[in-house]
Amino acid sequence: MGYDMELTALILLPFFGGVAALFAGRWGRDAERWVAILALSLALLILISSFFSPGDGRWIALERYDWAPSLGVQVILAMDGLSGALLLVSLALGIVSVVVSWKITEYPGLLNAALLWTVAASNGVFLSFDLLVFAFFWELMLVPAFLLISVWGHGDREAAALKFLVFNAVAGLGLLAAVFYLGATGDRVTFDAFEVAERQIPHGVQVLLLLGFAGAFLVKLPVPPLHAWLPDAHTQAPTAGSILLAGLLLKTGAYGLFRFPPMLFPEGFATLAPFGLALGAFGSIYGALLACGQTDAKRLVAYTSVAHMSIVLMGICGGVYFSLMGAGVEMVAHAFSASALFLLIGALYDRTGTRDLRELGGLQQNAPRFAAAFAVFFSAALAMPGTANFLGEALVITGMFQVNWIFASITLISLVVSVVYATRLFKRVVFGTSRRTAALEDLTLREMGPIVLLAVATLLFGMLPQMLMGALEGAVEAALTSVTVP
């Protein structure tokens, strides 16, 4: 148990960096942007340094502080390989979001503050093991994300932001109710997840409490029919908002499902896991089919997220080594590839004023760097061998064949459908001709930096899988001790 405050800094640096960015405009041009990058970079260096610390068993770092002892509330922060990988994603995408928002001149201080506060709250979700503190961060991250959509979005941004807020806030009430019940019904009032996990909770109560947790997680993931907020939020959000939604907020839902149901409600999770498998199988086909019919490039990628995160749900509910490992890998892989596609589509929209696939084309002739970047992440969307996406989905499918061959077959069919939407996106954007792209400016150096970073991560974890799988090993083994194969 450590008191080095490394983990605390991973939350406080982005939070106070956001406060500083809010007022940094008076210090000079672009000061708020540089303050944001500095805060995130310092947090990233602290995170990387923590990987080289001795650790405490399966935990890379663990911190515990009394906050309100009379109320049973502590700050318990713990990081293993799973949360460490997602924190790396969080901070990297935070820096990418600041860079791609560089040209936005409307309230730049508030914009960069909202970006950093989204990262800070998400980091709190990935680290917190006091359930009340976890619920606090879970609700807190909705506020800056709502601002990103409603203030800097496009089109009917207010309606999209409200839909996002209502869906997630209402679902969070079930989580909060379950947390209060868990904290208040033991020998003493405590929200310590490690202590709660030792309690003998009746099977029926476990199922009801798990429904409260799962409702919040499945909305954030999201899977049908709880996904209705996602396409509008992605379509109307600014590019940085879409990056953080797809790469970060969706992953908090997947992380919550991976971490807490097996830990707190093992019997209830075994009971409900078959329903999760069925929901994931349906979502993988549903999202892929709807993606095929989209003409707006952003909506297309949004529906692919429904399909891919449904595969993550299947991996978690599969409850065997390969499916759980695949779910963890796919969380990280999808964060990089989906964020890159939203970045590219946003850059294309800035130049052409449209995301309509029927009006785009010709990038291979007019913007070769654009075309090459689309080719890399087109391969990731197809889960081509050599990409981290292939590794994640291959592991999930392998695990599914150990659990239920029907669900495994459905997942394979969804991958076949993915060829249709990915090929359609690539053909419409890269090939052909378009008046809108006749004199198109190619990707700039500032835009190429994030793209190269995301491409390297996608290919590195795909070509050297043990780098990521080794980090996830402890979290997978911990989940396996509690998960019963349905």
The string of DSSP codes covering 339-379 is: HHHHHHHHHHHHHHS--BGGG---HHHH-HHHHHHHHHHHH
The mean pLDDT value for 237-262 works out to 94
Least trusted range by pLDDT, from 48-52, 92-96, 169-173, 216-220:
48-52
So what's the pLDDT on residue 335? 94
So what's the pLDDT on residue 485? 35
Q: What is the pLDDT of residues 159-212, one digit of tens each?
A: 999 999 999 999 999 999 999 999 888 778 889 999 999 888 999 999 999 999
So what's the pLDDT on residue 158? 93
Q: Identify the residue with better confidence: 328 or 368.
A: 328
Give the pTM.
Answer: 0.93
CA distance 456 to 440: 26
CA distance 406 to 400: 9
CA distance 4 to 6: 6
Instruction: Please report which helix (H) or strand (E) contains residue 74, including its range.
Output: strand 73-79
CA distance 169 to 359: 37
Contact at 8 Å (CB) between 126 and 7?
no
CA distance 348 to 298: 11
> Residue 1 — very low, low, confident or very high, per pLDDT cuts 50/70/90?
very low
So what's the pLDDT on residue 368? 86
The mean pLDDT value for 349-370 works out to 83
The mean pLDDT value for 394-410 works out to 92
- Residue 486 in tokens: 């349905």
CA distance 294 to 163: 20
- Residue 79 pairs in a beta bridge with 61
Q: What is the pLDDT of residues 406-460, one digit of tens each?
A: 999 998 998 888 888 888 888 888 886 765 555 678 888 888 999 999 999 999 9
Residue 243: burial class (beta carbons within 10 Å; 0-12, 13-18, 19+): buried
So what's the pLDDT on residue 442? 83
Least trusted range by pLDDT, from 240-249, 268-277, 300-309, 417-426:
417-426
Percent of the chain beyond pLDDT 90? 65
Q: What is the pLDDT of residues 88-146, one digit of tens each?
A: 999 999 999 999 999 888 899 999 999 999 999 999 999 999 999 999 999 999 999 99
Buried b (16+ CB within 10 A) or exposed e, 244-268: bbbbbbbbbbbbbbbbbbbbbbbbb
Among candidate residues 105, 111, 64, 58, the one with its CA nearest the CA of residue 84: 58
Contact at 8 Å (CB) between 345 and 256?
no
Q: Supply the mean pLDDT for the chain.
A: 90
Q: What is the pLDDT of residues 227-244, one digit of tens each?
A: 999 999 988 999 999 999
- Residue 76 pairs in a beta bridge with 64
Q: Identify the residue with better confidence: 148 or 371.
A: 148
Q: Tokens 């914009």: give the residue.
A: 111
User: From residue 413, how far is each of 285, 380, 418 by CA, in Å?
Assistant: 7, 17, 9
- Residue 109 pairs in a beta bridge with none
The mean pLDDT value for 12-18 works out to 96
Among candidate residues 171, 150, 168, the one with its CA nearest the CA of residue 159: 150
What backbone torsions phi and psi does residue 423 show, to the nearest 5 degrees? -65, -40
**Whether pLDDT at 19 is above 90:** yes
Query: Given CA atoms 263, 268, 272, 273 in this order, what sign does their dihedral have?
Result: positive
Q: What is the pLDDT of residues 311-324, one digit of tens each?
A: 999 999 998 999 99
**Whether pLDDT at 484 is above 50:** no
User: From residue 387, how far is each of 256, 460, 465, 471 by CA, in Å?
Assistant: 25, 8, 9, 18
Q: Euclidean distance between the first and final Cα of the chain, in Å?
A: 35
Residue type for 422, please? A
The mean pLDDT value for 17-45 works out to 92
